[in-house]
Structure formats: structure tokens, C-alpha cells
Structure 1
């Protein structure tokens, strides 16, 4: 175990396929408890309802976290049309149901053009962005009005992969700082029927792929027994 400990202190990049319902910090906390060092961090938060690639850095490699965070991101997932939610995803109940009978595949594809390229995007008020030193989601949950300024982001591509109304499946390639939840809400506004994010998976960060990541189960087994579950690569 001493050899492994030294390896992690010297610095490792661990690719994890974040499980559904785990926070990004849940992953960091679990890895920290397994490898027995304090310097463990992740390069880019995924919401609990999102899955996919989470880059975890250990030891001296935690200095590289900002480098990984700045890399291009790729996401796949689904929007559900015909309603909105306060959190822009399934963490809150859908409200303001609207008819989608006039929504065509042509309209769905045409609307993506409004969100491709350099755009200004308002982050969700139910997010970890801080105002006065506190995450704004704490204020939002108390019913306090939260105003966030638009931020410049770049969406390099936004494509509709499949349509099965009221669900629309998408792929997005974007810069860091882009909120796919906000994209879902804004896309629904553009269509005039509302939309919320109903599933999300991060498939790529720079050249790192979710397909090459370990499951948490695989990583835990490796650390406890020294062997991998079948199909789990050693990153």
C-alpha cells in the first residue's frame, strides 16, 4: 500500500464515470478515504443528476486542476419539452405545462442556431455560484430573489440527435462555464413551449473520454483488492 500511497502523492489523474445521484464531492471524498491522502480534487463539477466523465487529480497533480477545467467539454442528454422547472432540471417538479403540438423537428433543429457560437448565458439561480460569499442556491431555496448577470460562453456545436416528443436528445460541445441546464431552459423559451433538462452525461473533457473512465465500483475494488472489475481501465 505504501507504493500506491506514494504514487498518489506524487500525482495521478483518475478518470471516473460519475454515478447518478452522487455529487462530484462525493466522488472526491470516497477517493480521498481510499487512498489516504488529503490532496484530492476534481476538475469541473457535475450535478448529482448528471453522469459521465469526472477528472480527479491527486497529490501534486491538483495544481493542474485549472488546466483541465479550461478544456473543451462535450455533453449528451435530453430535454423534455412542454414545461419548465425552477431548477431547470429534475431536481424540482415541472410547472407551467404548455401544448407542444405545433413543435416540429424542423423547428427543433432551427432553434439550435440561436445558441451556437459566442453567446451570453444566465446561470441557473439554483447553482453553486456565490454572492456575498454564499452559494446562490441557498438563497433561491429560501425564496430570496437572486439576480445573476449573463456570462459569455461559447457553444461550438449544438445538434439534435433524436426526437421522441416530448423528449429531445442532443449533443453539445462547449467551453467551460456553460450550464446545460440554462441551455435547456433558454431553448424551451425560444421554442415557446418551455423545456427542462431531463438527463445529462459528460462524454468528453479535452481529449479525455468517458469511455475510458473507471466506474466508482471498479476504482473501489482496485484499491481494496488490487484488481479491476472487467472492463475498467487503470487510468
Structure 2
């Protein structure tokens, strides 16, 4: 029996906008893509449920240094909620817990149930979630049958709108901040309507700053590498700068870029006035050097450097 050849990894920097398919975890999707690109280092920017599809930004190499920023970004989803059935996972992958009759509701009644779920709300996370309790994910405890008190936390729901109704199925669009569980929104909507509900379909549409993302499925990427080889595959990557497009930025001339790359405060030649907690720092040629903090005196202090910032001529 022949073994698959062992992947020889390579240094690779950039961002991939993956269209995750249903049925795989975010980590499984990451590992498959990482092996396809032969990227030595990779990470994703916030888990999508196995049931979910859509945008999962993948960071390779130095781009992993901004993964946390993308994780905290604003996001949008489209979901199909099924009224009348609750499950232990709050989605269709779980076991049914209770079935109730779906009342006759009109759009006005649904809007009245949606309204309290908008804005800054306190939300209880699903029992089956990646949130950790005592250093262990809640889903691991739930699978062992342990009694769990899922935590509550404040989240931001910028928009929550009904798009379509077909029998017990409601199509909703959600725009929210970091840490919001669409499964919890659907669960709470169902309880407000008196019949319970669970997520049947979930798709992430965008993540800031990628509002109109060009996404690639794993199958598309495999086809690209088979027909065009690795150079064609690498053309699917976005530069790290694309992930920082919405951050305030400052520009350094060559001597100040060297200072910044050595870990010292530097004087920008262009950019906004401080103080600003986090800015993207660029050299004149347009390449990002790292992230910094801009003080009231106009000096930018290094917070996180990309490798090439420490290797500039004159460093």
C-alpha cells in the first residue's frame, strides 16, 4: 500500500479567503488548505461551525500576526431558522430536545420578537461551543454529558432582519460583532415566539474588511493547482496589507523605518494625529512594517513587527 508523499512546507505569507464547505470544522479546513499551499505556518480567524459555510479568512506566515484583529472584526451571516424544534446544539447537527406547535405569526409578530435581539444584548452561548470553561471547550464537557452552565456575555448585533418566510422556516440576515452566536439568536427568537427554533443553514457572507470577498472553495483551489501549478495557486492570496485596509495608518521614511524595525519609536512623515491605540505602519514603497501605537506627540511606538521590518537595509 503506497503512502501519500509527505508535504514539504515552505515559507509563505498572505491571506486566503476560503469558502468553507459544510461538514468540516474550521481547523480541518485550515489544515487541508495549508497542506495544499505547503504553507509552513497557518491559522484561521475565528471558527465557523461544521454545519456552516462561507468566508473563513486563512492567514499564512506573517499574516498570522493580524489574525486576532480579523477575529474581532464585524461579520455578516445569512441563516435559515426552523421554528418548532429545539436541539441540544441549537442547530441541525444536534439531537432534537423538544418539538412544539408553531403558532400562526405574521411579519409584525416576528419583527416584535427580533427587535430585542438587536443592539448591545446579553447573550447566552450555546452549550456546544468552543468557549472554554476551566481551560476546556464547552463542547468537550457537553459530549461527556456533564452539566454545563453556559456563560452569558454582552455582544453587539448591528442588524437582524427577516428576508423570507416559508412555512416554519425563516431566512434571516445578521450583521454582528465579535463573539456573537447566530445559533443563540435563533434559539432566543424561537423562545420569544413560544415554539423554539434551531439553525438549519448558516453561511458567513463577509468579514471586515472583506465586504465583497472573492472566495475560493477547496475544490476550486485543487483545480487551480492541477492546471496552473503553485504560482497560479499563490495568485489566490491577498497581501497582508489587504487585511489592514480599514486601520488608520502612518508612513515612515527610510531612516525612520529602520528605527521602527529596531523596536524604537519613530517619527511618521505622513498620517493622522495621535493619540491612536493601534495604527498600521508603512514604508514609503507601501509595504506594511508592523503595528504601532501613535502617541500625542506624534511618535509611533512598535507594537508588533513583521519579519522584514527587522531586515531593512541599514538595520
Instruction: Tell me the TM-score normalised to structure 1 length.
Output: 0.90
List runs of 5+ in structure 1 lacking aligned partners. none
1:20 corresponds, among 19, 22, 30, to 22
Residue number in structure 1 paired with 2:220: 218
Q: For 1:172-191, what per-residue CA distance to the aligned partner results, in whole angstroms no more than 9, with x for missing partners?
A: 00001000111111111111
Residues 103 and 195, structure 2, Cα contact 8 Å, conserved in 1: no
Task: Specify which structure has the higher proportion of helix.
Answer: 1
Residue of structure 2 equivalent to 1:148:
150
Distance across 2 between alignment mates of 1:92 and 1:149: 20
> Greater shift after overlay, 161-170 or 86-95?
86-95
Q: Give the match's secondary structure for 2:31.
A: helix
Q: After the TM superposition, which parts of structure 1 deviate over 6 Å for at least 4 consecutive aligned residues?
A: none
Aligned position for 1:187 = 189
Q: Distance in 1 between matches of 2:225 and 2:47?
A: 24
Q: Report deviation, 1:202.
A: 0.1
- Most deviating of 79-88 and 213-222: 213-222
TM-score of the superposed pair, with normalisation by structure 2: 0.68
Equivalence for 2:140: 138
Separation in 2 of the partners of 1:209 and 1:53? 10
Partner of 1:34: 36
Q: Distance in 1 between matches of 2:179 and 2:212?
A: 19
Counterpart contact for 1:80–1:196, Cα < 8 Å: yes
Unaligned runs of 5+ in 2: 1-8, 238-315
Q: Which has the higher contact order (CA 8 A, sep 6+)?
A: 1
Asked whether the 8 Å contact 2:125–2:152 carries over to 1, the reply is yes
Stretch of structure 1 that moved more, 102-111 or 149-158: 102-111
Between the aligned partners of 2:85 and 2:35, the Cα distance in structure 1 is 41
CA contact 1:52–1:201 (8 Å) conserved in 2: yes
Corresponding position of 1:124: 126
Match of residue 95 from structure 1: 97
